[in-house]
Structure 1
Amino acid sequence: MLRRIVFALLVTTALASLIGAALIGMRLLGPERVADDATPVFVATAGQVERGRYLALAGNCAGCHTTRGGAAYAGGLAIDTPFGTIYSSNLTSDNAHGLGNWSAAHFWGAMHNGRSRNGRLLYPAFPYPNFTKVTREDSDAIYAYLRSVPAVSVRNVPHALRFPYNTQAALVVWRALSFTPGTFVADTRQPAEWNRGAYLVDGLGHCIACHGTRNVLGATEEKRGLSGGLIPVENWYAPSLADPQEAGLADWPTADIVALLQTGTSTHGSVLGPMAEVVYQSTQHLGEADLTAMATYLKALPAVAAADDRKMADSAKPSATKVSRRDVGVMERGNRIFDQRCAYCHGDVGQGAQDAYPPLAGNRAVNMRSPMNLIQMVRHGGFLPSTAGNPRPYGMPAFGHVLDDSDISAVLTYVRGSWGNDAEPVSARDMMKR
């Protein structure tokens, strides 16, 4: 215990020193104001505006910068983080609260370097660590489009972050440890299609924001790539896109990956939770060539097991994973609940129903190390996105109002240990995560 206290004091002292140094540096240097363009008037072509509209869809900009029922791109959406709540900004052409007085250079400064028009550092909930890879040409096109969005006079809501995360000094420290402006560099060993996919997945698509692990400061760990991670606060697990046991796509036909991104469903699986929102608001609107490029890149990811830190956390759970060694009472209780609530759609032996309800036997989502998505689906329901290619998808109703945590734990333990499935039982600790 004494060792932990000493370690915590050392860490606190080190952080205080870093923040102190950052404050001194900020006082000496002041904010770095983004230079204006040489020509103050930005004249956009119709083609540039249309390209910007498409790129804004690829980046799912409206997903964060539009509130439910609110005007498009007017901001104000609350984004909960472990450090407090961040509110998205107004991106309409409004002069007072939006981008009306921003130049293309100001916008490029935000995209590439994470700085606002007045030089203040932006919070990385705006994923500039990924957008820094976007080309100036594409940045200018997005800017041109946003300048065409009708002005909406909606004030930007102040962030509600805890100290010291609400200070510019903390951002200076964070950036020093976690961010370096960069550009996308094509891999000359790979074909153009692969490079286009890498640009979209790693840049505008910022897929690592969900499918990557994060350190204690909330920064995505680039070295681990798309190795999966728990989405902060939301408690949905974005599975590894490189692990064949989770959501690795190496053995999927390209056409099936394209179908998943375009319609939300394919012969291999469907999207739910936050990914359903991404398909609905973003990927279903992309062209076939770009979706194929993304699929090509994702298929080529080296097969890597999911992040090591999650394996370490899993190792602390009970080691008895075989069906024969499970708690018999829990399995019987889970079986009864399954027969009452689940078998009608998913089948008596988890076989599912073709083109309607997915099979549970042998399902990768059922057998993943993390049970969080299953818990969320049983509690709150699971719904595919309504897309042009699948306008009336089947959905799963919520059971959180009729099943308590012990019921959900039992039925999921049963499902994860039946019909050949052999995943970890769902523990009381798993259920505590809301």
Structure 2
Amino acid sequence: MLMRWLVLVAVLLGGLAGGVAWLNVRGEAPIPPGAAPSTGTPEQVARGEYLARLGNCMTCHTTRGGAPWAGGRGIATPFGTIYAGNLTPDDETGLGRWSAEHFWRAMHHGRSFDGRLLYPAFPYPDTTRVTREDSNALYVYLRTLAPVRQANTPHALQFPYSTQAALAMWRALFFRPAAFEPDAARSAEWNRGAYLVRGLGHCGACHGGRNFLGATPEGGQSLAGGLIPMRNWYAPALTSPDQAGVADWPVEHIVALLRDGVSPRGSTLGPMADVVYRSLQHWRDDDLRATAVFLKSLPQSRSQASGRKPPDPAVLELGADRYERHCADCHGRNGEGVRSATGATLVPPLAGNRVVTMEPPANLIRVIVHGGFLPATAGNPRPFGMPPYGLVLADEEIAAIASYLRRSWGAAAGAVSAQDVARFRGGAGD
């Protein structure tokens, strides 16, 4: 805690000392005089609508029960709550007076219409790699929305995070405008997948993890896994075979997971299920395949050992008893799960399941506590759901079940404690 405050003081003083000139005007072309709102072609509008689906933009920019795209949704962070802005073309409260140049500056440089620096809850460390052509298409699509007069909610951030000076220093440390650079040694399909994952798809915003100042490693390009702040779900590493790496999966199985939320090799839960429901199931087949090709190519390395001790025999005995009472009827006495006559997964197996042995055990705990629900998609129209046990079982019982699963059917992961359950059971946005 002391180190955090020392860094924050340095951030504040460094930002104030530089004044307005320190607000990171790096590589920004000035907005041309007379830049005004514009419209595009029907082809651009259609492209922009699809790109908005690719980026899952509406999810953050629509509050529950509110007008689509009008903003107001609060995004909880360790530094306070950031509220998404109004993207409808209202002149006073939305993008009505924005030109394509203003929109590009926001996407590429993370700067708003009035010159303010934007907080990276808007994932401009990723969208900086979006092409100008795609930015323009998104812009003209948003211009076609019905204007909604809804003032943006002020962010509720702690001092000094609420200051532009602190944000300027953060950007000096962690952000550089960039462009996607195709790899000439790779196929066009692979490069398309890389562009989607590294850019508008902003996969690294969750799967990259974040440091104590909220920055993702490797300039936002890491896919090595990390806890999702304030939600207590763990976005597993896409570069690890014992987490979410898919290097040994057939491309068709990866596509099925992305599109349907379920495949012969796994299924999606929690925040990833929401991404499938709201975004990925609407992607074109060629983009899904390109993404699968890219993800399959990622270098893989096993996660480091957690150092957890094996559970005590009494804990395993309690876990086996509670598993028999509450879990075995669906997941099977040997954790084998249930498949349909056609081979489709109805109840996921627990034997060999990476969620069970993953470190940290956040997702396993959250599924037991809150239940598990796959997304409803065209390929999985009637998903089965697991009921929540957070009000039925004590933390010690949940820990015992988790520990039992992590030591059964060939698994050899360490014990889960009641303290782990208390840590991971809560969180925003369940």
TM-score category (smaller protein): over 0.9
Looking at structure 2, the residues matched to 90 and 259 of structure 1 have their Cα atoms a distance apart, in angstroms, of: 34
Rounded to whole Å, the distance in 2 between the matches of 1:63 and 1:92 is 14
* 2:324 corresponds to: 339
Distance in 2 between residues matched to 1:411 and 1:347, nearest whole Å: 14
Matching of residue 410 in structure 1 with residue 400 in structure 2: yes
Partner of 1:278: 275
Shift of the alpha carbon at 1:93? 1.4
Q: Percent of aligned pairs with the same residue?
A: 55
| Alignment pair present for 1:137 and 2:142 | no
Task: Pick which of 17-26 and 176-185 moved more.
Answer: 17-26
Whole-Å Cα distance in 1 between the matches of residues 33 and 42 of structure 2?
21
Q: Say whether the 8 Å CA contact 1:34–1:109 is kept in structure 2.
A: no
In structure 1, the residue matched to 2:386 is 396
Question: What is the alpha-carbon distance in structure 2 between the residues aligned to residue 41 and residue 227 of structure 1?
Answer: 40
The one-letter code sitting in structure 2 at the alignment partner of 1:50 is A
Matched residues in 2 for 1:406 and 1:36: separation?
63
Aligned to 1:51: 47
For the Cα contact (< 8 Å) 1:37–1:105, is it kept in 2?
no
Which runs of structure 2 are paired with 1:19-418 in the superposition (5 Å)?
19-23=15-19, 25=21, 35-36=31-32, 40-222=36-218, 225-306=222-303, 314-315=306-307, 318=308, 320-321=309-310, 326-354=311-339, 355-418=345-408
Alignment TM-score, normalising by the size of structure 1: 0.91
Q: Distance in 1 between matches of 2:206 and 2:21?
A: 33
- Using the size of structure 2 for normalisation, the TM-score is 0.92
Q: Please list every run of 5 or more consecutive structure 1 residues that lacks an aligned counterpart in the other structure.
A: none
Paired with 1:404 and 1:28, the residues of 2 have a C-alpha distance of 51
- Aligned partners of 1:150, 1:105: CA distance in 2, in Å? 21
Cα 1:190–1:37, aligned 2, differ >3 Å: closer, same or farther? farther
Cα distance 1:427–1:248, how it changes in 2: closer, same or farther (>3 A)?
same
1:183 CA displacement:
0.6
Deviation for aligned residue 1:143: 0.5
**1:27 and 1:282 mapped to 2: Cα distance?**
34
Q: Secondary structure at the match of 2:81?
A: strand
For 2:23 and 2:368, how far apart are their aligned partners in 1?
A: 52
Instruction: Decide whether aligned partners of structure 1 residues 118 and 9 sit closer, same or farther in structure 2, where only a CA change above 3 A counts.
Output: closer
Separation of aligned partners in 1, 2:101 and 2:182: 24
The alignment covers a number of residue pairs equal to 416
CA contact (8 A) 1:37 1:104 kept: no
* Distance in 1, Cα, partners of 2:366 & 2:359: 15
Given the superposition, is the C-alpha separation of residues 9 and 413 from structure 1 closer, same or farther in structure 2, using an over 3 Å criterion? closer
Partner of 1:426: 416
CA distance in 1, matches of 2:415, 2:231: 22
Secondary structure of 1:204's aligned partner: coil
Structure 2: runs of 5 or more not aligned: 340-344
The question of whether the paired residues in 1 share the 8 Å contact of 2:357 and 2:406 is answered with yes
Decide whether aligned partners of structure 1 residues 13 and 392 sit closer, same or farther in structure 2, where only a CA change above 3 A counts: closer
* Alpha-carbon contact 2:37-2:97 (below 8 Å) kept: no
Q: Secondary structure at the match of 1:356?
A: strand
> How far does residue 14 in structure 1 lie from its aligned partner after superposition?
3.3
Question: 1:344–1:44: structure 2 CA closer, same or farther, 3 Å change rule?
Answer: same
- RMSD value over aligned CA atoms? 2.1
Q: In the alignment, is the contact (CA less than 8 A) between 2:102 and 2:112 conserved in 1?
A: yes
- Name the CA distance, whole Å, in 2 between partners of 1:8 and 1:390: 45
Relative to 1, partners in 2 of residues 1:38 and 1:135: Cα closer, same or farther, differing over 3 Å?
farther
